[in-house]
Amino acid sequence: MKLIYKIFIAVVVLIGLGSCENEENLMILEPQEAAFALITPEVGSTTILNKETPNNTALTFTWEKVSYGTPTIVTYTLQFAASNTEFAAPVDITSSTSTHASITVAELNTRALALGLTPGVEGTIDVRIKSTVGTTLSEPKLSTPITINLTPYRGVFPKVDLFLVGPGTAAGWSVTSNNMPIYRDPKENAKHYYTGFFNKDGFKLIEQIGFWAPAYGTNGAKVQYRATEGDTDPGVFPTTASGYYSFEVNLEELTYKITPYTGPMTTYATITMTGSVLTGDDAGWSQDVALVKSSFDAHIWKVTQTLKAGKMKFRANNSWDVSWGDNGGDIIVEAGKYEIWFNDLDGRYMFIPTP
């Protein structure tokens, strides 16, 4: 009986050792010795990203298959990194078990900007593939990295409000009072306009009432952005004589244009706003809220008003003979309290949310 027991124990030990050996062999998998490579795109390829086609495929990456010497599922991860960093901080883009991956224009643009590339300027990023298998002790294998050239575009430009400051404006050099806003394009956030009266000696633009930065001015014929008060102070947008000017600025392209205004200059006794925004229903179209005329420029009007969600228009002298909307139609407004500015020279308006 003791002999049978000893034989049983020996068998169990041998089976256990065999199981451990098999488990170790399954967990430690070595990839093929030879390096594997990206097939496409080619090293040094050039891609210019087009913001008009954000959902199109920008690039398709393909690479060689890696063998771990035994049938197993291999996961491939596409990685980007800033050039000349030796992948010190790789960014995982996508993972799959296939040997190809595609990336859209919009995503590639976002990744390129995050890695420090400048909009409109060709730059480079490094690309590689990391292969792994599911076992905890398997060794990852990295493809030979490549460098590709990319020209990204600026993403959707954020909405910013811009206010006038400087000797040519009603505020003078104060950033806390009488800072009139200029008018943002309703479709292109980077573009702003202002037609109105300026004194001589020019002006600058600030983004927040009470703060000298962020701000915009000039550096020669270009717009200069001042991110913080420690940055170089830009020059003024020039107004060499007192009078009416039309001003345009593009914050994305950092360009501007300022010319004397020679259009019609009808003076109105009153400007009012009317519409369903006043009551929440059509009864609001029979009511008017008067705007206050600027003492600095008789064509700039302002009122602070809480509005319902709905439609509205501006009109002159409480009459429909002269009215303004959105390209002739009604202006659509979300519910809220707004500081409302209106310019009767060009019909532009701004709704600035306010507490």
| Structural domain spans, the chain | 34-151, 163-260, 271-353
The matching CATH number, chosen from 2.60.40.10, 2.50.20.10, 3.40.50.740, 1.10.357.10, for 34-151 is: 2.60.40.10
CA distances from 7 to 16, 18, 19, 191, 267 (A): 14, 17, 18, 89, 113
Burial 186-210 (b: 16+ CB within 10 A, else e): eeeebbbbbbbbbbeebbbbbeebe
The matching CATH number, chosen from 3.40.50.1820, 2.60.40.790, 2.60.40.3620, 2.60.40.1510, for 271-353 is: 2.60.40.3620
Question: Which two tokens mark 180?
Answer: 């009139």
pLDDT at residue 11 in the model: 42
Mean pLDDT for each consecutive 10-residue tract of the chain (355 residues)?
Answer: 45 43 46 77 94 93 88 91 94 93 92 88 95 74 95 85 98 97 94 98 97 94 89 94 97 93 96 98 97 98 98 97 93 97 98 95
Phi, psi of 256 (to 5 degrees): -150, 165
Compute the distance between CA of residue 73 and CA of residue 252 in angstroms, rounded to an integer: 47
Question: Which two tokens mark 266?
Answer: 């009808």
Amino acid at 23: E
pLDDT at residue 333 in the model: 97
Class of 163-260 per CATH?
A: mainly beta
pLDDT at residue 1 in the model: 45
pLDDT at residue 140 in the model: 86
Compute the distance between CA of residue 220 and CA of residue 118 in angstroms, rounded to an integer: 22
**Fold match flag (34-151 vs 163-260):** yes
DSSP state of 89: S
